[in-house]
Structure 1
Amino acid sequence: MFSENIYVNTNFKNKFDSSDIDTDSWPDPQKNRSQKSCHKFSKVLFTSLIIYFLLLTILFSSALINKVWSCCPKDWKPFGSHCYFTSTDLVAPWNESVENCYQMGAHLVVIHSQEEQDFITGILNTRDAYFIGLSDPGHQQWQWVDQTPYNDKATFWHTGELSNDNEQCAIINHRWSTGWGWSDIPCSDEQNSVCQMKKIYL
């Protein structure tokens, strides 16, 4: 009984000690993990690249649709969606100033906000006065040259202005006591001017 036991156990042991078993074919857990990790990284990288190129395509398309490439002619200053040109060597009456701007594909400046007023005064010379696109055909009915409505709540008249019915054209000028503002003067006076045009979109 005892010897039989030994035989069985020895047999069992010999089965597992056999050199027939190829240990090289057993899967290496470490190698397997590394391959999976590399494969996962490749997928993430590929997905990221696709998303990146999709975003670039969307941004490029948006740029074309929204016309983000805009510019102003040489010597014109950009602000918002417009370009501005200050005439300092072409002093002229108001009507002639209107024509000079028109010849450049523009009109005398129209100002509707404090931001625009501040920008324009920032590019002007404090020693000069400049015609703007505002005139009065009579009875204090002020009108802009581009036909946009005149809003007396968004104006920048100097204190004491609009007191003379014979002064029917507006200038922007600087007073040392109060700073920049608008004044009404006779349209026949010769002044510099500020022209305005829409930006050129490419």
Structure 2
Amino acid sequence: MALPNIYTDVNFKNQPFSSGITSDSSSCTISDSSSCTISNSSSALPKKTTIHKSNPGFPTLLLALWIFFLLLAISFSVALIILFQMYSNLLEEKNTLEQLNHAKLHCVKNHSSVEAPSSNEDKVWSCCPKNWKPFGSQCYFTSRDSASWSKSEEKCSLRGAHLLVIHSQEEQDFITNSLNPRATYYVGLSDPEGHGQWQWVDQTPYNPNATSWHSDEPSGSTELCVVLSYHPNVKGWGWSVAPCDGDHRLVCEMRQLYL
């Protein structure tokens, strides 16, 4: 009696060790032909781990840029300071030239140190701006413009001078020799309060014994200023009182320059 064919499938599979090590798995299939085929299938290779490293050049670049802009800001600030100082110096020089009117000077060589102040004894030349007249250690400028006393003082101040301060009769005679007798000229003497407290613009003390008032002067009890005026029937040139807001010509005075 013939035996019937028997088909048997047998699968073998090795389980991986619990140690975490991946091993090959083997399988065997037994069929009716009593043949066994063993196939080895390799498990997936372990994945490569990618380590992302930070770029060390990025913070360095930021630091370099920060230092660059800091140095740029410092340089810009220093440049501004230097330019401001240069501009201030140029402006000061310009104002000095405009005020002192020293674009052109007329100079005379000193023959003795007596003419110059003690602080200028080593200087050789005494100078006045062009169109100014020298006398002693002073320079004088006569203007044909007319203005109030305060405006006249301002005009002299812009020239680096002040209204005429008369120190002696000789000085007054020198000045009046070139004045127009039909005009009146402000000098730097005023009584701001009208109380007889006369003041020179250069703070020279007022000496009542060294004045040149006309016979009927001074008069008035309000704010008063002094002008040089000519009285033909009296003694010629002298001092008169006039309102400070009146328009009169002016005489400016400044110290000579020593070079």
In 1, Cα distance between the equivalents of 2:135 and 2:182? Answer: 23
More helix by share: 1
Unaligned runs of 5+ in 2: 1-110
**1:78 — aligned with what?**
134
Which residue matches 1:140? 196
Q: Tell me if 1:153 matches 2:209.
A: yes
- In the superposition, relative to structure 1, how do residues 151 and 60 fare at CA in structure 2: closer, same or farther (>3 Å)? closer
Q: How many residues align?
A: 143
Identity %: 58
Q: TM-score, normalised by structure 2?
A: 0.52
Aligned AA (1:135):
S
1:106-121 correspondence runs (5 A): 106-121=161-176
Query: Are the aligned partners of 1:167 and 1:184 in contact in 2 as well (CA < 8 Å)?
Result: no
Corresponding position of 2:71 = none
1:38-64 CA deviation, whole Å, 9 max, x = no partner? xxxxxxxxxxxxxxxxxxxxx999x98
After TM superposition, list the pairs within 5 Å mapping 1:182-197 onto structure 2.
182-197=239-254
Does the CA-based 8 Å contact 2:183-2:249 persist in structure 1? yes
Distance (whole Å) between structure 2 residues aligned to residue 141 and residue 66 of structure 1: 40
Equivalent residue, structure 2, for 1:170: 226
More displaced 10-residue stretch of structure 1: 135-144 or 163-172? 163-172
- Deviation, 1:96, is 0.3
Once the 2 structures are TM-superposed, how far is the Cα of residue 68 of structure 1 from its aligned partner? 3.7
> What secondary structure is seen at the aligned counterpart in 2 of 1:72?
strand
CA distance in 1 between counterparts of 2:142 and 2:121 reads 32
Larger radius of gyration: 2
Q: CA deviation at 1:167?
A: 5.3
**Does the 8 Å contact 1:112/1:155 carry over to 2?**
no
Q: CA deviation at 1:176?
A: 1.0
1:49-64 to 2 correspondence within 5 Å? none
CA RMSD of aligned residues (A): 2.2
Name the SS of the counterpart of 2:152 in structure 1: helix
Kindly indicate whether the alpha-carbon contact (under 8 Å) linking 1:129 and 1:192 is maintained by their aligned counterparts in 2.
yes
1:192 match: secondary structure: strand
Matches of 1:167 and 1:66, distance apart in 2? 44
Which structure is richer in relative contact order (CA contacts within 8 A, separation 6 or more)? 1
